[in-house]
Amino acid sequence: MSENYIVSARKYRPSSFSTVVGQKALTHTLKTAIKNEQLAHAYLFCGPRGVGKTTCARIFAKAINCEHLTADGEPCNECESCIAFNEQRSYNILELDAASNNSVDEIRKLTDQVRVPPQVGRYRVFIIDEVHMLSQAAFNAFLKTLEEPPEYAIFILATTEKQKIIPTILSRCQIYDFARITVTDIVEQLQRISQDKGVTAETSALNVIAQKADGAMRDALSIYDQVLASSEGNITYQSAIENLNVLDYDYYFRLDEAFRTGDVPQALLIYKEIRDKGFDSLYFVNGLAQHLRDLMVASTPQTVELLEMNNDIAQQHIKQAASFNTRFFYMAMDLCNTCDLQYRETSNKQFVVELTLIKLCQIMGGTPVQQPPQPRVQKVTAAPAPTSQPAPQQSASAPAPAASKPAAPAPQQVAAPAPVSQNRPAPRPSNPAAPAASATRRILINKQSSGNGATAGEGAEKRHTTRTADFTPEQLVVAWKKYINNNPGEIILLSAMRNSLPTKIDNNTYQIEVENNVQVEALSSNMTKLLQFLRDEVENDMVSLDIKLSPKGVSTMAKTDREIVKDMYDRNPKFAQMIKDLKLSMA
């Protein structure tokens, strides 16, 4: 290493307002105040670390003492005052690090210095860095001097935690809030530095460095030096992610495909691959949450500008986001947030992450995840007990719908739900975090489906047209039973559906009365898919369903075996006949 080597954070530290990165509005205000000679006696520069607070304080101090100020308020860097400042021998500028000099004695030494007027120039500038670290007694000792300083004294206080400064200090300062430096500004600055150094750097690699810096230019320059040291003059994307131990975008995009198709095994294998590379699971979860957030803002033109990344990667996110609907993003981010909260408390951390990935796959491409029943309000609307309904196998002779429709192909007898037709919008997933049902619940469904299976032609037209065909209650019952026959694997749901057929309340609203909270939860969790099927069968998107808990289902008391058998005897004629045939006693 050369003896004259200087780290980039020092070598490329701005020496004028025009070279400060990411603070154009603030530096313009300071230059205007200098040109118009409207200087306050105390300033407070606050903001995140590495955004230029101390740098701007030094440039400001140099500019107000410059003998040949430029027309736009910049120091000339040629007069004696500027040269003395650049060579760090100016007596007009005094810096104090309050993090290590926070006692009353240090402040008293500072106030003694304030009494000495400048020998060259017009002002003496006192820069106190990390001023929030001063003790309460030191603040009080400094207060009088800050309130009534000599006319040649100017104080510039810098802090990352403005909330820790006492109000009496804040009220005596002009406050300037420095913003986090954007990824774009950091990348542009790193490109200029790379050109100056004669280094080849891929934009995607600089984007990784900028995101790792989290809005701090100083951190970005330190990370840049770290990557450059191992890149031999050629900074590539691969070298950057390997050196900084950053998870490649490709993993997240591969997971997107697994979520879109409901490929649970693939999602779990990708997670294993990530763990095998040594990445922490919580780091992965947070990275996935950020990726989903970026996809969400990339999904609409109005929010694309919220993406903090270069254009090439932004376009990749926009293309990927088109594969999902907005509902997926909301539910997926909520699942990641829940995983983040549970991760810190659970003993089996891998299981929590894998369960989250399974749920993410089920949003778009699989059976919605059913949440365990939650406590419900046990208030019940009086209603007659449900009448006995014929068994599903006896409904084969039910009348066909009046509307002429092509016969549907016979479903395959498998446990998975029937695949969605290419010419019909895919059913929207049910929300796994939906609130628990009360005794009487109204399920509200968006009348316009948001599926992403159809791409053009008739399928696209159906997605944007509300169907309002007339249908009879008998036709809806036929569709209801058809769903039962098509989905033999959904045991709990089908049990609830067989015990209660929909009854008409008004034009397009039907009611289902169920026996217990388990059935309420089963219907609620699958309501989106069930409603979509019924609406497609009767060609009416206005169909809605109410779920009503039977008064008999309110009791949470456990039944004895005798009570269970008695209930079956009273409600099931076939069971009662079997008891009689076997000459068994119900006593």
CATH number at residue 331: 1.20.272.10
Q: Does the residue 382 lie in any domain?
A: no
| Contact by Cβ (8 Å): 304, 298 | yes
Residue 38's φ and ψ, nearest 5 degrees, are -110, 70
Distance of CA 138 to the CA centre of its chain: 42
Alpha helices (H) along 402-553:
457-463, 473-486, 491-499, 517-525, 527-538
Give the full edge-to-edge strand order of the sheet including 503-504: 440-442, 544-549, 509-514, 503-504
107 and 206 assigned to the same domain: no
Please indicate, yes or no, whether residues 146 and 24 belong to a single structural domain of this protein: yes
Instruction: Please tell me whether residues 121 and 38 are part of one structural domain.
Output: yes
Question: Do 158 and 198 share a domain, yes or no?
Answer: no
Domain that holds residue 212: 183-244
Beta-carbon contacts of 320 under 8 Å, excluding residues fewer than 6 positions away, are 253, 256, 295, 298
**CA 504, CA 8: separation in Å to the nearest integer?**
75
Are the CB atoms for 78 and 68 separated by under 8 Å? Answer: yes
The per-residue pLDDT for range 439-467, each reduced to its tens digit, is 334 433 333 334 444 444 444 444 446 78
Q: How confident is the model at residue 356 (pLDDT cuts 50, 70, 90)?
A: very high
Strand order in the sheet with 153-159: 93-97, 124-129, 153-159, 42-46, 174-177
Query: Given a cut of 90, is residue 9 above it in pLDDT?
Result: no
Residue 379, H or E segment? none
**Quick one: CA dihedral 96, 97, 101, 103, positive or negative?**
positive
Q: Are residues 39 and 84 in the same domain?
A: yes
Residue range 214-230: mean pLDDT, rounded: 87
Instruction: Tell me the percentage of the chain whose pLDDT exceeds 70.
Output: 80
- Give the lowest-confidence range in 21-25, 44-48, 157-161, 246-250: 246-250
Query: Which residues, in sequence order, are bridge partners of residue 513?
Result: 548
Between CA 458 and CA 480 the distance in angstroms is 25
Mean pLDDT score, 353-367: 82
Token output for 468: 């309002």
The answer to which of 29-33, 63-67, 448-452, 532-536 has the lowest mean pLDDT is: 448-452
Cα separation, 407 vs 411, in Å, equals 12
> Over 50: is that where the pLDDT of 373 sits?
no
* pLDDT class of 268 with cuts at 50, 70, 90: very high
In the predicted model, is pLDDT for residue 417 greater than 50?
Answer: no
In a domain, 384, yes or no: no
Mean pLDDT for the stretch of residues 119-126:
84
Tokens 């030096």 found at: 225
Q: List all residues 6 or more positions away from 8 whose beta carbon is below 8 Å from its beta carbon.
A: 193, 221, 222, 224, 225
Average confidence (pLDDT) over 431-437:
41
- Say which CATH number the domain at 171 has: 3.40.50.300
- Is 327 contained in some domain? yes
Which is it for the CA torsion 408, 410, 413, 414, positive or negative? negative
* Cβ contact 218:50 at 8 Å: yes
Report the pLDDT averaged over residues 72-81.
83
Provide the 10 A C-beta neighbour count for residue 269: 13
| 275 and 335 assigned to the same domain | yes
Q: Is the pLDDT of residue 205 over 50?
A: yes
Q: State the average pLDDT for the chain.
A: 77
pLDDT-based confidence at residue 552 (cuts at 50, 70, 90): low
What would the 3-class secondary structure string for 88-146 be? CCCCCEEEEECCCCCCHHHHHHHHHHHCCCCCCCCCEEEEEECHHHCCHHHHHHHHHHH
Q: Which residues are CB-neighbours of 67 under 8 A, at least 6 positions away?
A: 76, 79, 80, 81, 82, 121
CB distance 312 to 202 below 8 Å: no
Claim to verify: residue 166 and residue 204 sit in the same structural domain:
no
Question: Is 510 found in the same domain as 426?
Answer: yes
Please report whether residue 378 resides in a domain: no
Residues 462 and 492 in one domain: yes
Number of folded domains in the chain?
A: 4
Residue 270, helix vs strand vs coil: helix
Report the alpha-carbon distance of residue 559 to residue 475 in Å, rounded. 37
